């Protein structure tokens, strides 16, 4: 063979390596056909076929397979078991549960604030919070009138909407009312003094007391409270509704219109509830004095203003004068000029 042609395949076939590989593959195919085909002899052994694996079965918990037994209500459960029965860590951290808990807490706080500010009944003046003064109005029913400018009131928070008068009864007996009423002093006015502590009564004191009883006794009033005085009374501007139109009336202002009271004359501690109210009270007193109403009638001097005029002693001046009067146990009063007079002591 020429040396230049040694790399070319022989004519008519493949090279030796490829021919040997094809022969080996043909021999393997012939062996397989002999063992599996019909020509295979009796001594030939068939290759076993592997069956498919069975489907995987899921493990079922035993508690699910057992029939559920009814729980005995009388069975004893320990405290730890009862707590562990509920997944508290999961329940308390859920957003829906957190929102529900927050709503309940905020609602409870709001209801308590509403009750404390507007629905809690105040039995006496000493039970009023300092934050209530000049900010709250107390609704109640007048149970007694002690003087021309003060009375006692049973606090009825919420009024008829809270059931007072038809679901909740306002007591009327003295024993039932003992220690359960507020003593109210009309702000900005001073009525003539009645006879008490062995001292005589001031002119027009009976008329002022009668008017106040007829005007507010047994009525529902609204008191705008300002402060508490030295006698443990609530100083307040009091309003009451009157027929036929049930308009709101200022009780102190109505007494000034009729000349049954004067504006409060104390140098310090005078309470009107504001400068506007004070100006209105002073103007009303001046108009009643000009017309000669009530206790100012003595200034007119008799028939059509002719005659001798008398000096009017204000309730404040009367009380200052009575401080210098000696009161004897027998009910007689000794004045500074040495004269004595009998007095009617009020009980």
- Residue 221 tokens, joined: 């009033």
| Cβ-contact 299, 308 below 8 angstroms | no
CA distance 233 to 138: 14
The dihedrals phi and psi of 130, each to the nearest 5 degrees, come to -65, -30
Would you call 120 a catalytic residue per the annotation? Answer: no
| Cβ-contact 334, 340 below 8 angstroms | yes
Which of 220, 233, 254, 285 is flagged as catalytic? 233
Which of 152, 193, 220, 289 is flagged as catalytic? 193
What three-state secondary structure class fits 97?
helix
CA distance 119 to 164: 11
Would you call 233 a catalytic residue per the annotation? Answer: yes
- Residue 156 tokens, joined: 């009825």
Which residues neighbour 323 within 8 Å (Cβ) at sequence distance 6 or greater?
Answer: none
Q: Which of 118, 146, 114 is nearest to 132 (CA)?
A: 118
- Residue 20 tokens, joined: 């040997």
What are the CA-CA distances from residue 223 to residues 143, 186, 187, 220 (Å)? Answer: 14, 9, 10, 10
Active site (catalytic) residues:
185, 193, 233
């Amino acid at each position: 063979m020429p040396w230049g042609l040694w790399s070319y395949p022989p004519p008519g076939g493949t090279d030796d390596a490829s021919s040997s590989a094809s022969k080996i593959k043909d021999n393997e195919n012939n062996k397989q056909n002999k063992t599996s085909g019909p020509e295979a002899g009796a001594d030939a052994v068939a290759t076993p076929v592997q069956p498919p694996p069975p489907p995987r079965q899921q493990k079922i918990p035993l508690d699910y397979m057992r029939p559920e037994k009814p729980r005995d209500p009388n069975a004893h459960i320990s405290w730890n078991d009862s707590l562990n029965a509920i997944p508290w860590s999961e329940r308390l951290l859920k957003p829906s549960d957190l929102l529900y808990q927050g709503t309940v807490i905020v609602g409870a706080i709001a209801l308590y604030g509403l009750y404390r500010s507007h629905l809690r009944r105040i039995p006496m003046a000493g039970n009023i919070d300092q934050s209530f003064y000049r900010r709250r109005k107390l609704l109640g029913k007048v149970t007694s009138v002690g003087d021309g400018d003060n009375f006692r009131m049973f606090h009825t928070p919420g009024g008829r909407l809270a059931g007072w008068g038809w679901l909740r009864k306002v007591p009327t007996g003295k024993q039932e009312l003992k220690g359960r009423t507020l003593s109210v002093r009309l702000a900005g006015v001073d009525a003539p003094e009645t006879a008490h502590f062995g001292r005589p009564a001031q002119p027009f004191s009976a008329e002022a007391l009668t008017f106040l009883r007829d005007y507010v006794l047994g009525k529902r009033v609204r008191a705008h409270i300002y402060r508490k005085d030295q006698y443990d009374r609530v100083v307040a501007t009091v309003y009451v509704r009157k027929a036929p139109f049930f308009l709101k009336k200022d009780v102190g202002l109505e007494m000034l219109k009729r000349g049954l009271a004067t504006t409060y004359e104390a140098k310090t501690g005078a309470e009107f509830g504001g400068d506007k109210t004070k100006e209105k009270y002073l103007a009303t007193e001046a108009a009643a004095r000009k017309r000669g109403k009530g206790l100012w009638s003595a200034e007119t001097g008799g028939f059509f203003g002719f005659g001798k005029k008398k000096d009017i002693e204000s309730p404040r001046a009367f009380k200052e004068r009575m401080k210098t009067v000696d009161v004897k146990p027998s009910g007689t009063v000794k004045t500074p000029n040495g004269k004595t007079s009998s007095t009617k002591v009020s009980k």
